[in-house]
């Protein structure tokens, strides 16, 4: 099968794509009433809302912090059971960490295989920050929680058969990131089955249990099961949809790496009265160091930081220009009136590598503050990378910058000899978990075919982004499986991803079901062969 | 009594001090064999070491974090009981916070009253930082814990009659700050009684239970009991002795005030991939702001920061010059090779106001780090003040500096309207607890008389400092009680005051007993009338 497809691709590539594709796609689409199929899916959802949400709550109630192996395993088993109920052939691909749940569903006569990737693990939780609820005890609220307004009280689910309003929100860890695509995919299959819509494509599923921990085991797993995991396109289902609320297709993601920087003062924290402004204060030194990394216009002034960025293609630039600006709304939503980089739109900003302070810590603040010269000051920093940036090289540039500020950089806790030798001393911990950016060309036939799958569908016009700002280990899939990867985002942008009070808007969940149904039903347009 | 003293002071002041004082003091000292008295005290201590340390451990085992009213109350009752055992007339002076333990002991025929102030409360504790012990379960160790070497294991007390080595250390909260003077004072009285040394001075005691909380109630308490609390000199017993190990007399302390500065990013922390380097990062903004407050030579560059400093007198300047430098040893001990201000000695540095970052906090670091743009970044800052600095004015200068950096400063959590109006937004919390510096002239007769009390005593030559770097609410005593205040410090300088693993060196405790005995036995030299 792969050989045939490969030969056909070769043929296609020798012919101008525009001329070949459009009529063929048109011909194929004429014989399928997509709108009617979508209506069937919507009808199914409307009569199943209580059941869908109940099942989702069940899934969300299983704690899923990546490091919590036991509970992530329970998530895997729950998902496996739900897939098997739907006739999907499932196996757990074991790894040294959390298992990958793999499933496949063959369509008789299908010549194309679509693979869906979702992750079932979540970011760490700090329950003290969750307002009026618990991360793993999901609650439905009649509206979004908004800073400065009364918290909408949790409400019971409506009785079976009664509708859920689109603006209601379900709060809980991984509601948006990234369990929503799981429930939407399974429901889309249910809806198709209930409506008697036959599968047109072979379908494969991968549910990763370590994405939020940087997917340390997915690479070896993909390599080991390479033959099992063949497909024609991989849909990476993660991330928030664009601010407009429309489902979002993204053709790339940023890479990520990180480092932690610790600057030293005295070897124990000292009384600030006896030693303040004499013993070196690590807080002011760290401040000076961090301030030297970014100018007041938001430009990262670490030497060479932007040098390796691969420029965008004209299609990509056009796509960015076509994305409607939401900066004003976002600033209002998030309560600030000036972005870091006043010269760039948000979409332009995320096409560049970033250097971002995730956290600062030194001594104590607030009620715990004590009058000391702290021993250390630490900043945790992440770098988001774009095509062309090599993770380790980008960290090197930051380390070189630190050295240029006069610091001696060490990678272990410095001993007394080192402390007494270097006036400015900085420990760097480099992340082991980084990975590069990834970008599928928007000019590929499969890219155009996916776009066509949505053409003309009422209320389901996707936003198309050359790259998402967030990071996913897409490079592993594209490198190891040699498959074009296209991202699918369905969660509301204000889902508090990675944060306390994560949530999904009910309407976005419904659109997610329809989005996956549209992809599952994708006809065999020539464009994707 | 006060009127007579006042007239005598007036007479003394009209005569050149040098000419009047020296012969008189000499005459008085001739009729007292101070060395023999001190030997008696030493002998008593040597045969009572087990009992002294056991009693001290009992006192240290009562938790005493200022905010823990119940337990600070228990400390007060324990101290009261121990005082009463020694024939001291005790009363608890109630305050809206923790009570002050007041005691007095009259000496028949005495014409002078010495008052001793000690505080019995302690700084907050973070038990997780205490190595191999608990803050309120004191342990004896055969040596000091030193970074990078094996932790000396806790040891049982030697049997009664067996000696304690001078280099042993007792670890526990308030061993150094500030329960050591309590046990030393009580033991000095025991020793004098055992040796049949009569009291020459009336003695008064004040044990404060809220010093580490800024002594919010001591002022009204002193005012209320002003007549009860008359004395000729107040010894403020606190702080570490000078690095040479000698007991230390200090004639001043720095004042203190503090502020907390919070800089705002988005109103919730945001995913750094989707928003990093677009949404304003409060960490980098706070860094820039803090870096703007101090130059690389340790000078605080907040406008006018040094303008109100009262210059030192020539006696004070000479005293500072006479203090042996310990910078090299301290840098070695505390593991750094460059002080903040390379042009000044430590003693010179603490004669200036300081601005010191006590703590930084934003998002998370370490294992808890997550890839976000944090919502806020906070720095807690203390200002140590010298004579001439008004606490509120010094905070004003810092606030003006923040405004000069383009910030809009608020004092409450900013609402949406304020957030959307000001690109740079900073919330300042001003401390309510600050107080000014205090300095007793080293040229006063009483100052010279106290110095004389130690003259010629073997192994007990005190270091004399115009001002300690730390802060104590001395201004209250000197302002309300109109009494000269002189500080007495006995704890080892490396006692980890305000920190985890606070400790007292046994030898310092023994010297403390002798120091207080010397003060208690202070003869009626003309110098102090």
pLDDT in tens, A199-255: 989 999 999 999 999 888 999 999 999 999 999 999 999 988 998 899 999 999 999
Pair A298, A356 in one domain: yes
B407/A47 Cα distance (integer angstroms): 54
Residues of A in contact with B419 (CB under 8 A): 335-337
Pair B220, B304 in one domain: no
Sign of the CA dihedral with A8 first, then A9, A11, and A16 last: positive
CA-nearest of B114, B105, B103, B121 to B208 is B121
Helices and strands (DSSP H and E) totals, chain A: 16, 20
Pair A407, A515 in one domain: no
pLDDT per residue as tens digits for the range A95-142: 999 999 999 999 988 988 999 999 999 999 999 999 999 999 999 999
Contact assessment for residue B347 and residue A100, using Cβ atoms and an 8 Å cutoff = no
If one counts the domains in chain B, the total is 2
Pair A293, A201 in one domain: no
Q: Which chain A residue's Cα is nearest to B126? A: A368
CA-nearest of A516, A511, A492, A498 to A240 is A492
- Is B324 contained in some domain? no
How much is the ipTM here? 0.76
B99/B209 Cα distance (integer angstroms): 6
* Residue A335, token pair as written in the block: 């309560």
Kindly tell me the burial class for residue B70, based on how many C-beta atoms sit within 10 Å of its own C-beta (0-12, 13-18, 19 or more): exposed
The domain boundary residue, chosen from B430, B449, B471? B430
* Residue B430, token pair as written in the block: 């001003």
* Residue B132, token pair as written in the block: 């191999």
Pair A425, A452 in one domain: no
Whether residue B498 and residue A372 make contact (CB cut-off 8 A), yes or no, is: yes
- Is B334 contained in some domain? no
B320-323 — which CB contacts under 8 Å span 24+ positions?
Answer: B320/B347, B320/B348, B320/B351, B320/B465, B320/B466, B322/B464, B323/B242, B323/B347, B323/B463, B323/B464, B323/B465
**What's the mean per-residue pLDDT of chain B?**
90
Q: Is residue A19 predicted with pLDDT exceeding 80?
A: no
The number of residues making up chain A comes to 529
Q: Is residue A526 predicted with pLDDT exceeding 70?
A: no
Q: What is the pLDDT of residue B524?
A: 67
Pair B232, B369 in one domain: no
- Is A326 contained in some domain? no
B261/B267 Cα distance (integer angstroms): 16
Residues of B in contact with A126 (CB under 8 A): 368
Share of chain A above pLDDT 70, in %: 93
Burial B371-407 (b: 16+ CB within 10 A, else e): bbbbbbbbbbbbbbbbbbbebeebbebbbebbeeeeb
Residue A3: band (very low, low, confident or very high) from pLDDT cuts 50, 70, 90:
very low
Kindly tell me the burial class for residue B1, based on how many C-beta atoms sit within 10 Å of its own C-beta (0-12, 13-18, 19 or more): exposed
Containing domain of residue A403, as a range? 255-309+352-430
Whether residue B361 and residue A356 make contact (CB cut-off 8 A), yes or no, is: no
The domain boundary residue, chosen from A389, A407, A430? A430
β-pair partners for B294: B300
Whether residue A373 and residue B356 make contact (CB cut-off 8 A), yes or no, is: yes
Q: Which chain A residue's Cα is nearest to B370? A: A358
CATH number for the domain that contains residue A364: 3.30.70.360
Q: Which chain A residue's Cα is nearest to B342? A: A278
Place of tokens 């001290």: B56
Residue B30: band (very low, low, confident or very high) from pLDDT cuts 50, 70, 90:
very low
- Is B317 contained in some domain? no
**Other Cβ atoms closer than 10 A to A382:** 26
CA-nearest of B156, B52, B282, B176 to B496 is B176
Q: What is the pLDDT of residue B180?
A: 98
Whether residue A423 and residue B337 make contact (CB cut-off 8 A), yes or no, is: yes
Pair B268, B169 in one domain: no
Q: What is the pLDDT of residue A32?
A: 62
Of A21-25, A506-510, B422-426, B512-516, where does mean pLDDT reach its minimum? Answer: A21-25
* Residue A305, token pair as written in the block: 């930081």
Whether residue B358 and residue A271 make contact (CB cut-off 8 A), yes or no, is: no
Pair A378, A489 in one domain: no
CATH number for the domain that contains residue A522: 3.40.630.10
Q: Find the angle CA(A358)-CA(A364)-CA(A370) to the nearest 5 degrees.
A: 160
Q: Which chain A residue's Cα is nearest to B437? A: A273
Contact assessment for residue A365 and residue A283, using Cβ atoms and an 8 Å cutoff = no
- Is A55 contained in some domain? yes
Q: What is the pLDDT of residue A524?
A: 67
Q: How many angstroms separate the CA of residue A244 from the nearest CA in chain B? A: 15
* A vs B: CB pairs below 8 A: 357
DSSP A65: B
Pair B85, B193 in one domain: yes
Pair B304, B389 in one domain: yes
Among A337, A363, A493, the residue with its CB nearest the CB of B421 is A337
Q: What is the pLDDT of residue A239?
A: 86
Which stretches of A133-256 are DSSP H helices?
180-194, 218-224
B205/B82 Cα distance (integer angstroms): 13
First to last CA, chain B: 12
Q: Is residue A291 predicted with pLDDT exceeding 80?
A: yes
CA-nearest of A234, A235, A112 to A529 is A112
Residues of B in contact with A363 (CB under 8 A): 357-360, 380
* Residue B244, token pair as written in the block: 């040479």
B185/B192 Cα distance (integer angstroms): 11
**Other Cβ atoms closer than 10 A to A458:** 10
Backbone φ, ψ for residue A481 (5° rounding): -90, -5
β-pair partners for B63: none
Q: How many angstroms separate the CA of residue A340 from the nearest CA in chain B? A: 5
Which stretches of B243-326 are DSSP H helices?
272-275, 282-291, 314-322
Instruction: Compute CA B384 distance to the chain's CA centroid, rounded to the nearest angstrom.
Output: 12
Residues whose CB is less than 8 angstroms from the CB of residue B233 and which lie 6 or more positions away in sequence, other chains included? B114, B115, B446, B450, B483, B484, B485, B486, B528
Residue A4: band (very low, low, confident or very high) from pLDDT cuts 50, 70, 90:
very low
Q: Is residue B5 predicted with pLDDT exceeding 60?
A: no
**Other Cβ atoms closer than 10 A to A513:** 26
Cα–Cα distance list, B376 to A74, A468, B288, B425, B455 (Å): 36, 25, 14, 10, 57
- Is B260 contained in some domain? yes
DSSP A398: H
Q: Is residue B479 predicted with pLDDT exceeding 80?
A: yes
Q: What is the pLDDT of residue B2?
A: 32
Q: What is the pLDDT of residue B24?
A: 37
Among B124, B287, B337, the residue with its CB nearest the CB of A422 is B337
Q: Which chain A residue's Cα is nearest to B282? A: A357
Residues of B in contact with A277 (CB under 8 A): 294, 298, 300, 340-341, 349, 352, 354-356
Whether residue A493 and residue B274 make contact (CB cut-off 8 A), yes or no, is: yes
Q: Is residue A71 predicted with pLDDT exceeding 90?
A: yes
Pair A76, A187 in one domain: yes
Instruction: Compute CA B472 distance to the chain's CA centroid, rounded to the nearest angstrom.
Output: 6
- Is A77 contained in some domain? yes
Of A19-28, B151-160, B299-308, where does mean pLDDT reach its minimum? Answer: A19-28
Give strand ranges (E) for A162-283. 169-171, 202-208, 233-237, 248-250, 252-253, 255-264, 270-271
Among A300, A358, A421, the residue with its CB nearest the CB of B372 is A358
pTM: 0.76
* Residue A208, token pair as written in the block: 């990763």
Q: How many angstroms separate the CA of residue A295 from the nearest CA in chain B? A: 9
Whether residue B384 and residue A423 make contact (CB cut-off 8 A), yes or no, is: no
- Is B318 contained in some domain? no
Whether residue B361 and residue A360 make contact (CB cut-off 8 A), yes or no, is: yes
The domain boundary residue, chosen from B430, B452, B475? B430
**Other Cβ atoms closer than 10 A to B447:** 22
Q: Helix or strand or coil: residue B462?
A: coil
Pair A50, A197 in one domain: yes
Whether residue A380 and residue B361 make contact (CB cut-off 8 A), yes or no, is: no
DSSP A478: I
């Amino acid at each position: 099968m792969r050989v045939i497809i490969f030969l056909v691709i070769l043929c296609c590539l020798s012919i101008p794509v525009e001329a070949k594709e459009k009529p063929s796609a048109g011909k194929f689409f004429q014989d399928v009433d997509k709108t009617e199929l979508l209506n069937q899916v919507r009808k199914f959802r409307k009569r199943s809302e209580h059941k869908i949400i109940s099942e989702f709550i069940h899934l969300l109630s299983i704690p899923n912090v990546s490091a919590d192996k036991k509970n992530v395993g329970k998530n895997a088993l729950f998902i496996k059971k739900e897939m098997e109920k739907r006739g999907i052939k499932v196996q757990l691909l074991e790894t040294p960490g959390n298992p990958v749940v793999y499933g496949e569903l063959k369509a008789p006569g299908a010549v194309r295989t679509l693979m869906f990737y979702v992750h079932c693990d979540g970011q760490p939780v700090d329950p003290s920050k969750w307002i009026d609820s618990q991360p793993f005890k999901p609650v439905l609220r009649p509206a979004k929680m908004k800073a400065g307004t009364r918290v909408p009280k949790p409400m019971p689910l409506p009785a079976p058969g009664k509708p859920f309003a689109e603006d209601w929100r379900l709060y809980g860890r991984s509601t948006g990131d990234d369990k929503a695509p799981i429930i939407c995919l399974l429901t889309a299959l249910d809806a198709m089955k209930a409506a008697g819509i036959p599968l047109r494509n072979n379908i494969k599923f991968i549910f990763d249990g370590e994405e939020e921990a940087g997917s340390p085991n997915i690479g070896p797993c993909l390599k080991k099961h390479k033959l099992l995991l063949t497909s024609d396109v991989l849909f990476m289902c993660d991330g928030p949809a664009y601010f407009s609320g429309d489902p979002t297709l993204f053709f790339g993601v940023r890479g990520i790496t990180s480092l932690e920087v610790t600057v030293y003062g005295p070897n124990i924290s000292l009384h600030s009265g006896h030693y303040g402004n004499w013993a070196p204060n690590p807080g002011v030194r760290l401040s000076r160091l961090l301030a030297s990394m970014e100018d007041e216009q938001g430009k990262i002034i670490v030497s060479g930081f932007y040098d390796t960025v691969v420029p965008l293609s004209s299609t990509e630039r056009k796509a960015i220009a076509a994305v409607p600006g939401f900066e004003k709304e976002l600033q209002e939503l998030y309560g600030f009136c000036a972005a870091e980089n006043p010269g760039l739109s948000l979409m332009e900003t995320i096409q560049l590598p970033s250097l971002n302070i995730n956290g600062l810590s030194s001594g104590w603040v607030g009620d715990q503050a004590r009058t000391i010269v702290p021993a250390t000051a630490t900043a945790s920093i992440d770098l988001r990378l774009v095509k062309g940036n090599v993770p380790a090289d980008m960290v090197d540039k930051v380390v070189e910058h630190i050295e240029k500020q006069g610091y001696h950089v060490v990678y272990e806790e410095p001993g007394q000899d080192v402390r007494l030798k270097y006036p400015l001393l900085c420990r760097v911990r480099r992340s082991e978990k980084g990975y590069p950016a990834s970008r599928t060309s928007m000019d590929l036939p499969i890219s155009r075919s996916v776009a066509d799958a949505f053409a003309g569908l009422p209320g389901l016009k996707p936003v198309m982004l050359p790259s998402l700002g967030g990071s996913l280990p897409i490079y592993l899939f594209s490198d190891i499986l040699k498959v074009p990867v296209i991202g699918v985002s369905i969660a509301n942008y204000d889902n508090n991803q990675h944060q306390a009070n994560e949530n999904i808007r009910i309407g976005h969940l419904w659109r997610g079901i329809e989005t996956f149904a549209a992809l599952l039903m994708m006809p065999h347009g020539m464009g994707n062969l």
